[in-house]
Structure 1
Amino acid sequence: MADDLSKTKKAVALRYQEFEPAPKIVAKGEGLIADKIIALASEHNVFVHDSPELVDLLSQIDLDEYIPQTLWLVVAELLIWAKSVDASR
């Protein structure tokens, strides 16, 4: 049963706006909620990245909180990469 729980799909949505100090957690959830977050992102052409390790870390942060400085580099690199992918579409 513990294996079933560890395989539950999770999703975290981030928002970054100019002049804010860091990206902010704007949605997070597991199971059906994760499915809905991913579906809504896809419907609105928002980049979805599959990184279970990063999602596990980000899901520990409260809603409407900025990501901690320890995660800035990895999230910044991901946002830069996502922007370049979006620009090439």
Structure 2
Amino acid sequence: MKSRKDEERRAAALTYKQGFYAPVVVARGKGVMAEAIIACAREAGVYVHESPELVNLLMQVDTDAFIPPELYRAVAEVLVWLYGIEQERQ
């Protein structure tokens, strides 16, 4: 049986800029903080991708730190998918 804590929503936000060797975790949190991260993203027009498994891994990365090499492939797949969505909108 899941406790209330197990069901608490989690979120992580990434950024990637030219010149960076990997994306950076710019925000992460659970509960109220996760809801705030998601609300800010939506207000800014940023697509919110839901992947509990990936978020759980990103929650282990310090804020303002590059993602570890073990997550490159998973994050790259999300970015490629997101790029496709953005191309369809244009």
TM-score tier by shorter-chain length is over 0.9
TM-score scaled to structure 2, two decimals? 0.93
Aligned AA (2:19): F
For each residue in 1:23-82, what CA deviation from the matched residue of structure 2 results, as whole angstroms up to 9, or x when unmatched?
000001111110110011011111111111110000010000000001101101101110
Structure 2 residues without counterparts, runs of 5 or longer: none
Aligned AA (1:53): E
1:23 match: 23
For 2:2 and 2:79, locate their aligned partners in 1 and report how far apart those are by CA, in whole Å.
33
Aligned pairs, number: 89
Please state how far the C-alpha of 1:2 moved relative to its aligned partner.
Answer: 5.7
The residue matched to 1:63 in structure 2 has which SS? Answer: coil
1:38 match: 38
Misfit runs of 4+, over 2 Å: none
1:57 match: 57
RMSD, matched Cα: 1.3
TM-score scaled to structure 1, two decimals? 0.94
2:80 match: 80
For 1:2 and 1:47, locate their aligned partners in 2 and report how far apart those are by CA, in whole Å.
29
Identity %: 44
Answer yes or no: is 1:67 the counterpart of 2:67.
Answer: yes
The residue matched to 1:13 in structure 2 has which SS? Answer: strand
